[in-house]
Amino acid sequence: MARRAVKYDNGGETQRITPLKDTQVRTRQVRTGSRWKSTVDTTEVMVIRGPSKDIDLRCGGHAMVASGTSFEAAEIDPAYADGTQVGKRYVDEELGLELLVSKAGSGTLSVADRSLHLKDAKPLPTSD
Amino acid sequence: MNVGFLLEMAAEGMPDRIAVGSLEGGITYAQLLDQARRTASYVRTASVGETPVGRLAMVDLNSDTLPVLLFGASFAGVPFVPMNYRLADDKLRELVARNAPALLVVDPPVAERIGDAHGLRVLTRSEFGDQLAELPAAQEPADDAAGDEDVEESIAVLLFTSGTTGAPKAAVLRNRHLASYILSTAEFGAAGEHEATLVSVPPYHIAGVSAILSAVYSGRRLVYLPAFKAGEWVRTARDERITHAMVVPTMLGRILDVLEADGTTLPALTNLSCGGGPMPVAVIERALRLLPHVDFVNAYGLTETSSTISLLTPEDHRAAISSDDPAVRARLRSVGRPLPGLELEIRDAAGEPVAVGEPGEVWVRGGQVAGEYLGAGGGDQSDGWFPTRDSGYLDAEGYLFLSGRLDDVIVRGGENISPGEIEEVLIAHPAVREVAVVGATDVRWGERVVAYVVPSSEVTEEQLQEHVRVRLRSTCTPEQVHFVDTLPYNETGKLLRRVLREKAQETANV
């Protein structure tokens, strides 16, 4: 039996992670099942698969905050303004991070300055 | 993630779309969310005597209340337990009692049958509706945010499986299993506004649970039949302009009878999914002929795997039916290929993977695979791999062919004989409408092969024995062929082999 592995496009070679100058680096544990909010737009995500190590999760170039906590609104970094789509999953395969966007926004999801990639999921015919 | 989150997303993204019911008078996703949250606040404060309830149970037919209860239980953080209303009174009382302390929503006749149930707070469906209406509009929970592994691990649904021996076992489906299944099979909001799915499988069946989650996440309207009746199904499908439905093979056969009899064509129907048991080739061929505009899916799944693990797509169906290659044509009998992201292997009795084409037990592993029973642990003894107890093989292209339950294998004179193999040969005989093969104790062979046949025209025992002998081997030839009017099925179309085995036993001893 051929084992089926899902392949992800991680956009060619891996970029080196360097923190952005204008953003305070905050690495935190991003646990499976936790929910995070953008400080620059309406984006909200649910963590489908959390990495084992602490990460600097961002949206629109700024650190995301745990849903339900208070925060100071920030200005979106134009370099991180590609936007997200509701119901889509965004991944960083190397870290083992997978996010589900529950509310869309105009910012790009990233870990430090490395953008997450849209998970390519082929639609399946409905079986329920 | 809990399954309630799927509804929150739908209510956020498509608040005014009709979620459940008919286009006029149905409720929207925003309303469904409100009712589910009211249900949660009701469940959180409900108690039996001094004890807070720990489960939301239901013994009822399908109704628009069913999704409200499923999501409400999820928001309240308690398991939802839909149970079989067809059980005999004493069995039903025993089963519901196992859920105490619980809130139990029932059909009025069930309330009478259950009587004074210790540890249960019993409400009829309409009483429950009244209670919800009296509650203030539900607020969004202030902070259900910061990551909680408890939520992932909490039990979303308990489904009692019909054990052949002993008391029914409660299969555990945790939030993470069901969420994983939905995320890997459905796309958020992908359904068109005109799409509607007709649910006629019972609420205590895994397909009844997955139907709700898939439809809500996709944005497809749910329409319920209280219980399956072919005429009612066709009428509702036509009147509600149903686009999607899931049926078991016996249902499909009866639906086709109605369509043929009254000439209805169901032009709105685009997708028909079949599962819950082996699909006779004659039935699917007839379906493809009568409903040429419909995409057919044949799905295989188990309660323990949060529904579908393998499916034969519409393209597979079309390729098979129009192919001259016997290997491709044969795929009409297969359950297709495993879902992406799920691992599936065929293993021998020692647990070692077998070669392509070799039969063995189907094992699966993946985020949707639970394989756990309440009070019995389970799940992780084999590195996440779950043995399904189904036997089958994979062809060179990875299509899965099932040959039955391992527990149904007949051991005759030391040889393992699969009833499915013999049934397949017999059903191909033009005079055989339905067939079931079971083993009966035999003094000489240990077990003997017994066939039960529903004939469609005149045929003799000798003719059918000869039909098997020339196509398989003499050891597979049924020692006895009994002609019957009907075979025993449960309400989801599953053949009750146990009943036939008992019957075969009686005649064998004569």
CA distance B104 to B107: 10
Residues B152 and B103 in one domain: yes
Residue pair B182/B213 in contact by the 8 Å Cβ criterion: yes
Q: Could you tell me if residue A28 is inside a domain?
A: no
Range(s) of the domain holding residue A101: 35-118
Q: If DSSP codes are grouped into helix, strand and coil, which group holds residue B286?
A: helix
Three state DSSP letters for A28-46: ECCCCCCEEECCCCCCEEE
- Compute the mean pLDDT over every residue in chain B, rounded to the nearest whole number: 91
Chain A 3-22, residues with CB within 8 Å of chain B CB atoms:
3-4, 6
Long-range contacts from B41-47, C-beta under 8 angstroms, 24+ separation: B41/B76, B41/B135, B41/B138, B42/B72, B42/B103, B42/B131, B42/B132, B42/B135, B43/B72, B43/B73, B43/B76, B43/B78, B43/B103, B44/B76, B46/B103, B46/B121, B47/B101, B47/B121
Task: Look at A62 and A8; give whichever has higher pLDDT.
Answer: A62
Is the model's pLDDT at A98 over the cut of 60?
yes
Instruction: Classify strands B337-338 and B307-312 as parallel, antiparallel or unpaired.
Output: antiparallel
Tell me the residue length of chain B: 510
In-domain check, residue A59: yes
Does residue A103 sit within a domain? Answer: yes
Widest CA span of chain A, in angstroms? 53
Q: Which of B158-162, B451-455, B478-482 has the lowest mean pLDDT?
A: B158-162
Please tell me the total count of domains within chain B.
3
Residue A63 domain flag: yes
**Residue B225: per-residue pLDDT:** 97
What is the rounded distance in angstroms from the CA atom of residue B482 to the CA atom of residue B454?
9
Tell me if B416 is assigned to some domain.
yes
User: Which CATH number characterizes residue B475's domain?
Assistant: 3.30.300.30
Q: What is the pLDDT of residue A4?
A: 38
Question: Residue B233 falls within a domain, yes or no?
Answer: no
For residue B143, list chain A residues with Cβ-Cβ distance below 8 A. Answer: 67-68
Cβ-count burial B302-336 (b if 16+ within 10 Å, e if not): bbbbbbbbbbbbbebbeebbeeeeeebeebbbbbb
The answer to whether position A20 is within a domain reads no
Q: Tell me which residue range forms the domain holding B391.
A: 339-405
What are the pLDDT digits (tens) for B320-344?
999 999 999 999 999 999 999 899 9
CB-CB contact of A40 with A127 (8 Å): no
Same domain? For B436 and B415 the reply is yes
- What residue ranges in chain A does DSSP mark as E strands? 35-37, 44-49, 57-59, 62-63, 65-66, 89-92, 97-103, 109-111, 114-115, 117-118
Q: What is the ipTM of this complex?
A: 0.80
Distance CA B314, CA B273 (A): 10
Computed over its alpha carbons, how large is the radius of gyration of chain B?
A: 23
Tokens representing B288 are: 């493809």
Sheet with B337-338: strands ordered across: B27-28, B18-20, B221-224, B196-199, B244-247, B271-274, B295-302, B307-312, B337-338
B358 and B485 inside one domain:
no
pLDDT at B483: 96
Cα distance between residue B476 and residue B416, in whole Å: 10
The proportion of chain B whose per-residue pLDDT surpasses 70, expressed as a percent, equals 95
Predicted confidence (pLDDT) at residue B303 exceeds the cutoff of 50: yes
Question: How many A-B residue pairs are in contact by the CB < 8 A criterion?
Answer: 125
Q: What is the CATH number of the domain that holds B358?
A: 2.30.38.10
Tokens of B493: 């179309």
CB of B314 within 8 Å of a chain A CB? The answer is yes
Whether residue A30 is contained in a domain is answered as: no
Average pLDDT over residues B36-59: 95
Establish if B349 belongs to a structural domain: yes
| Residue in B2, B177, B185, B296 to test binding to A, most A beta-carbons within 10 Å | B185
B59, containing H or E segment? strand B55-59
Tell me if B154 is assigned to some domain. Answer: yes
Please give the residue that has the higher pLDDT: either B88 or B306: B306
Q: Is residue B210 part of a domain?
A: no
Residue B61 is given by DSSP the state -
The residue behind tokens 């006029």 is B24
B100: closest CA of chain A, how far (Å): 29
Answer yes or no: do B30 and B133 share one domain: yes
Same domain, B424 and B477: yes
Q: Looking at chain A, which residue has its C-alpha nearest residue B345?
A: A1
Same domain for B385 and B477, yes or no, is no
C-alpha B475/C-alpha B452 separation (Å) is 17
pLDDT band at A55 (very low <50, low <70, confident <90, very high): very high
Is residue B466 located within the same domain as residue B483? yes
Residue B26 lies in a domain: yes
Distance CA B128, CA B303 (A): 28
Residue A116 tokens, joined: 């997450």
Residue B149's CATH number? 3.40.50.980
Residue B139 CA: distances (Å) to CA of A102, B47, B134: 19, 22, 15
A48 part of a folded domain? yes
- Domain identity same for B415 and B383: no
pLDDT bracket for residue A100 (50, 70, 90)? very high
Element at B34 (helix H, strand E): helix B29-45
- Judged by CB atoms closer than 8 Å, whether chains meet at A128 and B398 is answered as no
Contact A87 B307 (CB under 8 A): no
pLDDT in tens, B381-413: 578 999 999 999 999 999 999 988 888 889 888
* B474 and B371 together in one domain: no
To the nearest whole percent, how much of chain A has pLDDT over 70? 80
Instruction: Return the closest-CA partner of residue A57 out of A95, A26, A87, A100.
Output: A26
**Residue B308 contacts A where some CB pair is shorter than 8 Å:** yes
pLDDT tens for each residue of B9-47: 999 999 999 999 998 899 999 999 999 999 999 999 999
Q: What is the 3-state secondary structure (H, E, C) of B313-325?
A: CHHHHHHHHCCCC
Residue ranges with strand state E in B340-399: 343-347, 360-365, 372-373, 377-378, 386-394
Helix axes B4-13, B65-76, angle to 10 degrees: 110
Identify which of B430, B501, B436 has the alpha carbon closest to the alpha carbon of residue B467. B430
Report yes or no on B225 lying in a domain.
no
Q: Could you give the number of structural domains in chain A?
A: 1
Q: Which of B384, B405, B426 is the last residue of a domain?
A: B405
Are B375 and B442 within one domain? no
Return the DSSP state at B475: G
The reply to whether B36 and B146 lie within a common domain is yes
Domain boundary among B146, B173, B200: B173
Binning pLDDT at 50, 70 and 90, where does residue A93 land? very high
For residue B237, is it within any domain?
Answer: no
* Same domain flag for B417 and B390: no
Domain boundary among B138, B173, B208: B173
Q: Find residues 91-120 of chain A whose CB sits inside 8 Å of chain B.
A: 100, 102-103
Band the pLDDT of B149: cuts 50, 70, 90.
low
The C-alpha atoms of residue A7 and residue B100 are separated, in whole angstroms, by: 46
CA atoms of B210 and B378, how far apart (whole Å): 22
